[in-house]
Chains A and B, each alone.
Chain A
Amino acid sequence: MEASSEEKAEFEEAEIKYVSYEGEHHLPLIMSLVDQELKQAFHKGKCVGTVVCKMGEHRNTFRGYIAMLVVIKPYRGRGIATELVTRSIRMMMESDYEEVTLEAEVTNKGALALYGHLGFIRAKRLFHYYLNGVDVFRLKLLFPRQELHYSVPVMTNRDEVMNMLIWIALEECSGLPYSEERMSC
């Protein structure tokens, strides 16, 4: 997520709105983001970043997993990725999850710095994890343990294959209201 030398979007902090995934109508926004041939349109109201997470039980541990994080190039270096990830982690912490994990390529200095500042350690190195031969680090964040806390994580649903948590960063369109409705799918 290093700042690119290409045209950087000019915007102020207040112009970025963060919304939680609301439904299928958000999917095309997310899909277009992860599409490599993203067209860089500069009109307002467009999705500039997203994070996709999974929350569930893994070997008796309630664990969150950050599957994907992307911010389009012109908007990098402004803390949007950090904000997206921070919101996700906060939600996991509030739901009494024990830890958060993800994989990051060993060469991805930006990601390693971002997660390092949030308290992740490099728990393991996985050799040739991706078939292009690149190693990855498994990053893990352990929440401080609250010894006598027996609350059940809010979002557990045994019937679901998994719980997804998605945050989207939208560049504000003047005059259009955004709903504060938050949900998981």
Chain B
Amino acid sequence: MADKAVSEEASMDGQAPKPTSIPVTDNTVWADASPLLDAACIGLRYGELIHGDNFNLFAAMSALEIMDPKMDSGIVCRYYSIDEAIENGAAPVPISLDSTIDVQCTIDIMDHLLACEAAWHKGHSLAQTVFSCIYLLRLDRTASHALLHSYGRVIRATCKAVLSVVSDARTHEEEDLFTMTYGLPLNGDGDEKCLSMLNAVEETISRQLRACKATSSKRRVSEDLEPLQYNPNLEEGFCKALLCRLRFRKHFFHVLTCMKRPQGRGLELARKHIASCISELEFILKSAEFLQSCSGESCEDDIDDKTTASGREPIGFDASLNSRLSAPTPPRAIKILSWKKAVEYFVKLLHDLDVICSYSLDPHLENLLRFVVQFQKSQPDLVARSHLQLLLVQDGKLYGRDPIFAVITKAAALPEATKNHDIQKNESILQLGQLVMNLLKILCTNAAWQRRKLGKILQDWRVIYLQLELALRNEFGEVSSSSNDENICMKIFQHILIWVEEQTYWIACRFLMLGFELELYSASEYCMVYWYSYAVLIKLAEKTHLKMAVSYDTAKRKGKKKRDSPKDLVRESRIPPAVLFLQCYICLAEGLTMMLAALRNEFMILQSPSPFNTEQEKFVQHFELLQRACIPDHASYLSFKESTTHARFSTLVMYNYFKDAQRIAKEVKSSFSNDPDRLAELRKLEQVAEHNSVALNLICRLGALDPSLKVSFEFSHHPFFATAVVRRS
């Protein structure tokens, strides 16, 4: 367009075009470059770039601005600005003078906005999704259309609320586009009152619904109620369709507001609104049949792909209008979720939020960690995870309520009064508090990112342990102090040290297990992974047991007057259930290590010889972060080889680790009768043990004789412990 203007000017007077703001000086003169540019345009073929001494390929590439309609002549938009689109009738208000069509189109807009909102949650930019709606971009225009206006306001306020939660939580690494708003009109004056506007509209339509129901039963109806639209046969259907959509929006906004309340005070109320949301979504789904029937269009096969319940294309959306706001990268074409998938998304989101809202805010860190791990199994999306994180870590406290030092002392099995001790001002203790908060945040991120972060913090936890150990030695030396206060300090340090180690091994364990969930290990690597897990689990069980024993010891010492009853002695010698649970893990890990090693040693399977490196390089790569943090000590490739070189089926059948695992799992079940999650897992562990034991025996008996036997490892019972499957090929 620019060159057209220039050449027109040139042909008019044959002279140089007038300069605008840059004056001619002694050394400069204006010259018409149009003929040169024209010649260049003709001379350049497709795919060629200008090249010069001071203008290399890099410079030419950098000068390109693709997909910006002003710079890229290849981009042809229908409209080049929002105002142009509006002037050309892309977003009419009202949508139609025919009130029936107006209502239908309004419902389509609401549906499409829901689909856009879900697409946004899934990781696309606001500019290409929710704010592809021209009505939303200029919401003031819709003031005369109560339905559209109030709905628009609530959606805007909702997006703003969700955005602030996700931004605050900062759990959105890969979904970077989510938080970019680049000048989109998210802040509306008076949006806090959006609910009262919505309520007013809802009230009007409710009355209208009652009125049309009354009419149908031939009762007298009030004269001053205006029908929604002209066709009385459709009035009831449209009222219902609108009401459930408005109510869903209202309740969803309430959910967000309630969950935002500090210290989890609004969780119970949030649950009620969540339940309402889910029931309104069901009504929304049911309305599809009515809306499709009165849309007048034939029922197409791909109705499931449509972004509206009626199957019609919505009016008033254009994602290209915001293409300049979708910086920094050129916006890629995205696919808005189908309306059905959008509803499904919101149902799942609401269920995940409900789990969060049902949580008891347990002050015990180990219970909290187990809750978060369990929650993550349902693969919650970004919005749910952000809400969880903000609930857990607020104002530097757990749930905004429990100071981190109190959490640590409780986790370290120290007496309740310890939480007020001055030791919390110690530099290393403060740093430890930061590490704990950071750990909680990390556990709320998506599995892939979580694993990377957990691997990185292992070093930090190791360092803090060494720092604390040093502090302990420096302050108290090796000799036990005479001062009572120093004695207490020393005890606190000791307890915390043991707990820090336990927590470090827990992180290492989670790091290794996530590798299975994320499918990072190939079958030929399972042996080394189980071996390393076994080494870590042994340490974890050891530290957990030590912590419990020390705490019992401390408790016993406090109650000096009590004499050891036989019951106390028994309790002392019995292994705590938590440790037994870990021992079950240990047996399975060891069993799998040995079985995989034996398969390799005796039958040469599950090896992966490579032309460029050996198993040692793979070992180094997989466990690099653990090795760097010395978790555990002496877990080298050499020791792995030493442990596994002599594995044979004949010996494995005799020392059957799987049988041990089965026995322990059975034994410990009664201790977890109040814990359905752990009971369920124990059952799964039993199944793994049983199946593997059978496979072990089978391979031992038939393996050498029957070359057609094939062994594979599947995660059919437990996400971390594989089950050996023996088949005949």
What 0/1 readout, one digit per residue, does chain A (115-145) give for beta carbons within 8 Å of chain B?
Answer: 0111101111111110101010100111110
Q: Across the two chains, which residue of chain B brings its CB closest to A140?
A: B621
B614 interfacial contact with A, CB 8 Å: yes
The smallest C-beta distance from A67 to any residue of chain B, in angstroms, reads: 16
Q: Across the two chains, which residue of chain B brings its CB closest to A116?
A: B522
Bound-state CA distance A133–B334 (Å) is 10
A142 B608 Cβ-Cβ under 8 A = no
B621 A128 Cβ-Cβ under 8 A = no
A111 interfacial contact with B, CB 8 Å: no
Supposing A125-B520, A141-B612 touch, asked if A119 and B174 sit within 8 A by C-beta, the answer is no
Supposing A119-B617, A119-B618, A140-B621 touch, asked if A129 and B612 sit within 8 A by C-beta, the answer is no
A108 interfacial contact with B, CB 8 Å: no
For B191, the chain A residues whose CB sits under 8 A away are none
Bound-state CA distance A122–B518 (Å) is 10
For B124, the chain A residues whose CB sits under 8 A away are 131
B610 A128 Cβ-Cβ under 8 A = no
Supposing A121-B525, A129-B174 touch, asked if A142 and B621 sit within 8 A by C-beta, the answer is yes
A142 B175 Cβ-Cβ under 8 A = no
For B334, the chain A residues whose CB sits under 8 A away are 131
B621 A161 Cβ-Cβ under 8 A = no
For B612, the chain A residues whose CB sits under 8 A away are 89-90, 93, 118-119, 141, 143
For A104, the chain B residues whose CB sits under 8 A away are none
For A116, the chain B residues whose CB sits under 8 A away are 522, 608
For B446, the chain A residues whose CB sits under 8 A away are 127
For B448, the chain A residues whose CB sits under 8 A away are 124-127, 135
B672 interfacial contact with A, CB 8 Å: no
B519 A121 Cβ-Cβ under 8 A = no
CB proximity to A under 8 Å, residues B611-627: 611-614, 616-618, 620-622
B567 interfacial contact with A, CB 8 Å: no
A143 B174 Cβ-Cβ under 8 A = no
Could you say which of B58, B123, B174, B521 contacts A126, with CB atoms under 8 Å apart? Answer: B174
B613 A128 Cβ-Cβ under 8 A = no
A144 B616 Cβ-Cβ under 8 A = yes
Bound-state CA distance A124–B454 (Å) is 12
A106 interfacial contact with B, CB 8 Å: yes
B452 interfacial contact with A, CB 8 Å: yes
A184 interfacial contact with B, CB 8 Å: no
Could you say which of B447, B451, B614, B622 contacts A121, with CB atoms under 8 Å apart? Answer: B622
B123 A119 Cβ-Cβ under 8 A = no
B174 A142 Cβ-Cβ under 8 A = no
CB proximity to A under 8 Å, residues B341-362: none
B727 interfacial contact with A, CB 8 Å: no
The smallest C-beta distance from B312 to any residue of chain A, in angstroms, reads: 26
A4 interfacial contact with B, CB 8 Å: no
A86 interfacial contact with B, CB 8 Å: yes
A121 B58 Cβ-Cβ under 8 A = no
B610 A122 Cβ-Cβ under 8 A = no
For A123, the chain B residues whose CB sits under 8 A away are 520, 621
Q: Across the two chains, which residue of chain A brings its CB closest to B446?
A: A127
B519 A122 Cβ-Cβ under 8 A = yes
Bound-state CA distance A110–B622 (Å) is 22
B449 interfacial contact with A, CB 8 Å: yes
B122 interfacial contact with A, CB 8 Å: yes
B123 A128 Cβ-Cβ under 8 A = yes
Q: Across the two chains, which residue of chain A brings its CB closest to B332?
A: A131
Supposing A106-B519, A129-B174 touch, asked if A142 and B610 sit within 8 A by C-beta, the answer is no
The smallest C-beta distance from B457 to any residue of chain A, in angstroms, reads: 16
Supposing A119-B610, A119-B613, A142-B617 touch, asked if A125 and B622 sit within 8 A by C-beta, the answer is no
A128 B174 Cβ-Cβ under 8 A = yes
B123 A144 Cβ-Cβ under 8 A = no
A141 B613 Cβ-Cβ under 8 A = yes
Bound-state CA distance A102–B18 (Å) is 55
Supposing A116-B608, A124-B452, A133-B122 touch, asked if A142 and B522 sit within 8 A by C-beta, the answer is no
For A93, the chain B residues whose CB sits under 8 A away are 612
What 0/1 readout, one digit per residue, does chain A (92-119) give for beta carbons within 8 Å of chain B?
Answer: 0100000000000010000000001111
The smallest C-beta distance from A139 to any residue of chain B, in angstroms, reads: 10
CB proximity to A under 8 Å, residues B150-186: 173-175
Could you say which of B58, B451, B520, B620 contacts A137, with CB atoms under 8 Å apart? Answer: B520
For B451, the chain A residues whose CB sits under 8 A away are 124-125
Bound-state CA distance A118–B612 (Å) is 7
Bound-state CA distance A90–B610 (Å) is 13
A122 B520 Cβ-Cβ under 8 A = yes
A125 B611 Cβ-Cβ under 8 A = no
The smallest C-beta distance from A27 to any residue of chain B, in angstroms, reads: 10
B610 A118 Cβ-Cβ under 8 A = yes
Could you say which of A118, A121, A128 contacts B611, with CB atoms under 8 Å apart? Answer: A118
A117 B519 Cβ-Cβ under 8 A = no
Q: Across the two chains, which residue of chain B brings its CB closest to A106?
A: B519
B522 A122 Cβ-Cβ under 8 A = yes
For A90, the chain B residues whose CB sits under 8 A away are 612
For B175, the chain A residues whose CB sits under 8 A away are 128
Bound-state CA distance A127–B123 (Å) is 11
Could you say which of B174, B452, B611, B616 contacts A86, with CB atoms under 8 Å apart? Answer: B611
For B520, the chain A residues whose CB sits under 8 A away are 121-125, 137
Bound-state CA distance A126–B616 (Å) is 25
The smallest C-beta distance from B423 to any residue of chain A, in angstroms, reads: 39
What 0/1 readout, one digit per residue, does chain B (495-533) give for beta carbons within 8 Å of chain A?
Answer: 000000000000000000000001111100100000000
Q: Across the two chains, which residue of chain A brings its CB closest to B124?
A: A131
Bound-state CA distance A143–B617 (Å) is 7
Supposing A117-B608, A133-B122, A142-B621 touch, asked if A125 and B519 sit within 8 A by C-beta, the answer is yes
Q: Across the two chains, which residue of chain B brings its CB closest to A92?
A: B612
For B123, the chain A residues whose CB sits under 8 A away are 128, 133
Q: Across the two chains, which residue of chain B brings its CB closest to A142?
A: B617
For A133, the chain B residues whose CB sits under 8 A away are 122-123
Bound-state CA distance A14–B573 (Å) is 73
B617 A161 Cβ-Cβ under 8 A = no
For A124, the chain B residues whose CB sits under 8 A away are 448, 451-452, 520
Bound-state CA distance A127–B525 (Å) is 22
For A129, the chain B residues whose CB sits under 8 A away are 174
For B452, the chain A residues whose CB sits under 8 A away are 124
Q: Across the two chains, which residue of chain A brings its CB closest to B615?
A: A119
Residue of B446, B522, B614 with most chain A CB atoms under a 10 A cut-off: B522
Supposing A131-B334, A144-B617 touch, asked if A119 and B611 sit within 8 A by C-beta, the answer is yes
Supposing A123-B621, A127-B449 touch, asked if A143 and B519 sit within 8 A by C-beta, the answer is no
CB proximity to A under 8 Å, residues B431-460: 446-449, 451-452
Supposing A116-B608, A121-B618, A125-B519 touch, asked if A142 and B613 sit within 8 A by C-beta, the answer is yes
Bound-state CA distance A123–B613 (Å) is 15
What would 6 more interface pairs be, CB under 8 Å, given A118-B611, A121-B618, A142-B620?
A119-B610, A127-B174, A128-B123, A131-B124, A131-B334, A143-B612
- The 10 sampled A-B contact pairs (Cβ below 8 Å) are A116-B522, A119-B608, A121-B525, A122-B519, A127-B446, A131-B124, A141-B612, A141-B613, A142-B613, A144-B613
On A, residues with C-beta under 8 Å from B are: 86, 89-90, 93, 106, 116-119, 121-129, 131, 133, 135, 137, 140-144, 161
